[in-house]
Every structure is written in structure tokens, then in C-alpha cells.
Structure 1
């Protein structure tokens, strides 16, 4: 017979580690802490997973490389921007749609906490190579805007206009984000910064943007 240990039997299923739903957030938090404590270069994936209490395999379920953890907010904003553009009603003027989509995307950022990669890059030791990776991600936003405009503009210069507008508004947005991050915890919402610089750019192209001709329903 087995010895009676006196412990009450439990019907609850055994659990191991952290709930999967929290693993990504725990990795993000652990990485932020370690990047600030040790610097980016001296922080390893093993250290991140140990502090987060998850396995190395779990890390790679969410991220392809350590550098992905620097650009979480930027990657999320690309998804938000693309979704906002796709959701634009067809009757919305194309440049208005771009402006609105950027403002909607900006609402996803907390006014109280800017991404650490923007405010603590010196502490974390972010070098030129990593900054270039961030630039490539920012340019992906321009690509998304250009793709959207290419389906909404018409005329011989439509492709050129789509690219020019995309680069101009992303450049303006980048300047706004930089100023917003530098203004500290008492900053206004990012949306306010973007509105001040993106609108003049969009308005400047406004009447010159070649839009598809509207078909008169009476003509058929």
C-alpha cells in the first residue's frame, strides 16, 4: 500500500510556467529591464527568457531576433496603419484617408510612456546598425501608404505622387514622433503632434493629387 502523506488530493490540472497569453508581455518587460540595466549588446536572449520565466522556444514563438524587441511599438503601428487604410470607405478622398489613418495609428501610443528605444537609446547603447533597422521599419510605413494611394489615385503621375506623398507624410510623422518622445511624460498625445505637421503636408498636395474620375450615374 502507498503511504498516506496526509495531503489532500487535488483535482485541478497541473500548470507549468506562465500562462501563454502573458508570455509575450513578460518577454517585452524583461527585455526592457535588461536593456536598461546592461545595455542592448550585453543582453542575451537567454538572460531575457530567464528573467521572463519562459523557454527559449517560447521566445522564438514571438520574435525572430533580439532586435525585434526594440521595435515592438513600431511594428504594431505598421499593422494599425495598414488596417486603418484598408478600412477607409472608397468615397473618402485619398489624402484625407492617409491623414486620418495616421492619426488613428497615433492613438495607440500612450502619452505617458514613449517607446524606450526613442527615449533611452543612449543608455541602451543603440548603435548605427540598429538605428538603420529602425529606419527600414519606418520606411515600411511609407510603402503601406504608397500601396494604398496607388489604388486610389489616377493619371500619368499617380505613381510618382503616391510615392512622394508617402515619403513626405512619413517624414513629417517621424519628426513629430521625435519631438513627442523628447517632450517627456507631460507631453500631449502623439495624435496632436502628428496633426500639426501631417496636415500641412497633405494640404500642400491636396488639389494637385490626381484622383480617379467620378462616373456620373446618369450617364451609366
Structure 2
């Protein structure tokens, strides 16, 4: 299905405009059946505009979360404790394309794609957090295990938030609970972890 060309002045490009067009198409044609060209035509923007904001089609769903993740990693590098940096991910987050994708994965034809992308973020979380924890504790194995718990806690909270109805509940509260469980694990696993939480 092709959209008729839009007449008049082109729509101003923004990541929100492009994401909205992409999500409409994912519902109509499925994720695999939607190309970047389809998205840019629906959004009324040039293909280059898509790549100003996103590296790939999957980034449309994850861009808000990925930006918060990058900010959390920067905070850790600046010396903010791991749990505090991760807690910021949920602060004032409103329902976005990721929450929409989680609750409508079947209708959007995401299938295994969303789980694959989730696994990629879990690996990224584990790698980045383990670096920080290894530097702080000197115990690389503890750092890997604790980092995996933190990553699972963050993504588990995001999924639960979306599935419970993201607009009716704050991610911040769920994330705080998940992180407190991770801190408990760390405190029982190694006494030096208390300084990191």
C-alpha cells in the first residue's frame, strides 16, 4: 500500500512525527512488512530525515529508552552510584513507542524481534554496569553477576510498567523496587556492594 504524496509545504521532521508514522504502519503492515521508505513517505519527510534521528528501523521503538540509558551510563562514568544512575531512567517517563510495542507486539508483528532487541539492551546494560562494578569492587565475576541482575531488573520493570498500563502507573516506582531487589542481592553476595548502591 502506498500513500498519496502530500501536497503543500513538507511537514517539519521530528523524531515524534517519524515514530508516529512508523507505529501506524507497524499496526497496518506489520514490522517486517514496513520499510524505512514506507515510514518516511507516511511521515512526509525525506529519507535523510529518518537517519538524522534513527540508525535503524528498530531504533524507532527504543529511541526514548536508549537516550535514557546513555544518560545513565554517562552518570555512572561521572561517579554517580549505579543504582542512582539507573533510577533516573524511570523519572518522569511517559508512555512512548516502546511501551506501545510491548503491549501490542502481536498486533504490530514484532514477534521475536522485540525479544531480540531486549536481549541486546540487556547485554549492553550488563557490559556497562559490570565495568563500573569491577572498577569499584575489583571482583570481575561478582560484577558480571550483579550487573546482569541490574539489567534484568531495569528491563523487567519497563515490561511490567507497559503491561500494567503505562499511563496508569509510574515507571519510577517499579524501577525503584527492582533496583532495591538488586541491591539486596549485592549486599548478600559481597559486603563491598553496599557502597555501590
Shared fold per TM-score greater than 0.5: yes
- Say which of 25, 30, 41 aligns to 1:50: 41
Using the TM superposition, give the Cα deviation of residue 40 of structure 1 relative to its aligned residue in structure 2, in angstroms. Answer: 1.1
Q: Report which of the two structures shows the higher radius of gyration computed on alpha carbons.
A: 1
Using the TM superposition, give the Cα deviation of residue 152 of structure 1 relative to its aligned residue in structure 2, in angstroms. Answer: 1.7
Would the aligned equivalents of 1:112 and 1:187 in 2 still touch at CA under 8 Å?
Answer: no
Would the aligned equivalents of 2:90 and 2:172 in 1 still touch at CA under 8 Å?
Answer: yes
3-state SS of the aligned residue for 2:10? coil
What is the match of residue 217 of structure 1? none
State yes or no: 1:17 paired with 2:18.
Answer: no
Unaligned stretches of 5+ residues in structure 2 = 1-8
**Judging changes above 3 Å, is the alpha-carbon distance between structure 1 residues 113 and 66 closer, same or farther for their aligned structure 2 residues?**
closer
State yes or no: 1:197 paired with 2:178.
Answer: yes
Would the aligned equivalents of 2:21 and 2:42 in 1 still touch at CA under 8 Å?
Answer: yes
- Say which of 67, 82, 93 aligns to 2:58: 67
Q: In structure 2, what is the Cα distance between the partners aligned to 1:176 and 1:59?
A: 29
Deviations, residues 118-143 of structure 1 (Å, cap 9, x unaligned): 11111101122442133112321121
Higher fraction of helix: 2
Unaligned stretches of 5+ residues in structure 1 = 1-15, 90-96, 212-220
- Say which of 106, 115, 124 aligns to 1:122: 106
State yes or no: 1:188 paired with 2:169.
Answer: yes
Matches within 5 A, 1:205-216: 205-206=186-187, 208-210=190-192
Matches within 5 A, 1:1-220: 17-19=10-12, 22-88=13-79, 97-110=81-94, 115-154=99-138, 158-185=139-166, 187-206=168-187, 208-210=190-192
Using the TM superposition, give the Cα deviation of residue 77 of structure 1 relative to its aligned residue in structure 2, in angstroms. Answer: 2.7
Deviations, residues 172-218 of structure 1 (Å, cap 9, x unaligned): 2222222111111553211111222221221232262447xxxxxxx
Using the TM superposition, give the Cα deviation of residue 70 of structure 1 relative to its aligned residue in structure 2, in angstroms. Answer: 2.4
**Judging changes above 3 Å, is the alpha-carbon distance between structure 1 residues 54 and 78 closer, same or farther for their aligned structure 2 residues?**
same
Deviations, residues 136-184 of structure 1 (Å, cap 9, x unaligned): 1232112111112222223xxx111111110011112222222111111
Q: In structure 1, what is the Cα distance between the partners aligned to 2:185 and 2:52?
A: 44
Using the TM superposition, give the Cα deviation of residue 106 of structure 1 relative to its aligned residue in structure 2, in angstroms. Answer: 1.2
